[in-house]
Amino acid sequence: MNNRTRTLTGAIAVTGYASAITAANWLTTRYGMVNVGFGLITTAGTFAAGAALLLRDTVQDTLGKAWVLTGITLGAILTWATSPTLAIASATAFLAAECADMAIYTPLRARGWARAVLASNVIGAIVDTLLFLALAHFPVTTRTVGGQLAGKLAWATLLPVAAVITVRQARHALSRDTLRA
């Protein structure tokens, strides 16, 4: 990836990252807790928060770790207008989760993107969930923690990672077939 493409991709990723944080908090403010099935409940913004965990890795890969912190800050500033309490809870939870995420993602990245994303998002999601629920004064129960993790890991991590892997494999197969022709 050339520098111009990397910068453009990074700018889109950090904008998406801050937007996902803001959307997660707006949805939570607007709709509170929602049923996700199997007796689990979660904050309405969980799916957007899960997307933020995935976007964080793209921001780090394209622009560096400092821009991850910029995305958290932008998300907190934008959330402040909706709910100062959620802005503080969210920024604190994201900061702690992203530090844990970086500690895992960065060393694993050399072994492959999917492995690094999956491992780091599991830890990041757990840290984010426990801190956010407690700081935002939501109940911390097996129903809420399970619901948060189901949303962040199944829908916002596993599905996008599977989609990226599928696209990469299809591209590889197409380029291999093109070389044979």
What are the tens digits of pLDDT across the range 109-151?
A: 889 888 888 898 889 889 999 999 999 999 999 999 999 998 8
pTM of the model: 0.82
pLDDT band, very low/low/confident/very high, at 179 (cuts 50, 70, 90):
low
Q: Phi and psi at residue 39, in whole multiples of 5°?
A: 80, 10
Give the dihedral sign, CA 157/162/163/169.
positive
CATH level 2 (architecture), domain 3-180 = Orthogonal Bundle (1.10)
Q: What distance in Å separates the CA atoms of residue 150 and residue 97, rounded to the nearest whole number?
A: 17
Distances in Å between the Cα of 20 and the Cα atoms of 2, 76, 95, 153 are: 26, 11, 15, 15
The per-residue pLDDT for range 15-57, each reduced to its tens digit, is: 999 999 999 999 999 999 999 889 999 999 988 887 887 788 8
Evaluate if residue 181 carries a pLDDT over 70. no
Q: Maximum Cα–Cα distance for the chain, whole Å?
A: 61
